[in-house]
Each structure stands twice: as structure tokens, then as C-alpha cells.
Amino acid sequence: MSRVGKYPINIPEGVNVDIKSNVVTVKGKLGELCCSYDDSHVSAKIENGKVVVSPLSQSLTARALWGTTRANINTLVKGVSEGYTKNLELVGVGYKARMEGTKLVLSLGFSHDVDFPAPQGIKISCESPTQIKIFGVDKQLVGQVAAEIRKYRKPEPYKGKGVKYENEYIRRKEGKKK
């Protein structure tokens, strides 16, 4: 049995959830998201202001999709009501970031600056030259943008220089010995 799937999803104030055939559409103050689910294994319905997901059989596939579908719908509801944030830190001498319109400009020790255009639906801000904040409604897109920015200069294990997530721990290696 799914431990995640059996809990109903509370619909917060100001959020509308619409379920038609196998598509869930969620509208809130921050935007609108939709996703589809496999209606041959799982059913979703609204009861008493909550979204209830239930399996249609006891097969392994239905039980696996039960929790997955519930988690996906919960992600949509949280996204349109609160949104998702990822914070990045730049560690290293001369590493800095700044915004130019909707474009993030990174100085990461290359001979040139790296330009990263913000995708549709993502807000990028720089509180300080070494802090980047990524905000959006779609959890997957926020994580993807953060991973793409981090990929330009991953943290290295000797000095810890690079672009890292806010709470990421970099395992350090000992340098050369004489």
C-alpha cells in the first residue's frame, strides 16, 4: 500500500482544481498548471474540498502510480499557491553574478562572461553578487534551471570553488603533500 497516496490533498483558499478525464488543472494566485495521469490505473476526484486519489486495482503498477499521481497533484497545488525557490551560492575569488533585464550574467573565471537567459515562468534575482535566487511555479523547471546554472562551474573538492546549492555540503580532499 502507498503511504503517500492514502493522504488527501488539501486545497488552499484561492486555488481551483479541475479534473476532466485524465487531466488535472490547478489555478491559483501565482499561475496555472496542469498534468495528466494514467486513468486506467488511478482515479482522482474532489471530495469535501480535498483531492482524493485512489487505485483502481491492487496491481503493482496501480499501487506505484497511486502515490506518484498524488505527489504530482500536490506539487501542482503547492506551486500555484506558494511557488518553489532554489538558492545558489558562488564560491571563489572573482566569481559573481548580476541581472541584466531578464538575463543572468555570470563571471566564473572564464575569459568571457556567461549569459543565461531566464526561461518563461522563472524569476531569477541576485540579492548579492554571490547569491542567486530562482523562483517559479513549476518545481521541475526551477530545479532544471538551477542545475543548468550550476553546470557551468561545479564545485571542486580541493578549495570548494564553483556554483553550489545553498545547503550543499562539498566533501573536501586533502591537497598534495611534500
CATH architecture of 84-165: Alpha-Beta Complex (3.90)
Q: What is the CATH number of domain 9-81?
A: 3.90.930.12
Q: What is the dihedral of CA 56, 59, 62, 64, to 10 degrees?
A: 150
**Residues 80-89: tens digit of each pLDDT:** 999 999 999 9
Domains 9-81 and 84-165 share a fold: yes
Q: Where are the domains of the chain?
A: 9-81, 84-165
Gap between the Cα atoms of 160 and 178, Å rounded: 22
Sequence-distant (≥ 6) Cβ neighbours of residue 59 within 8 angstroms: 41
One-letter amino acid of 95: Y
Q: Rounded to two decimals, what is the model's pTM?
A: 0.89
Tell me, what's the pLDDT at 101? Answer: 92
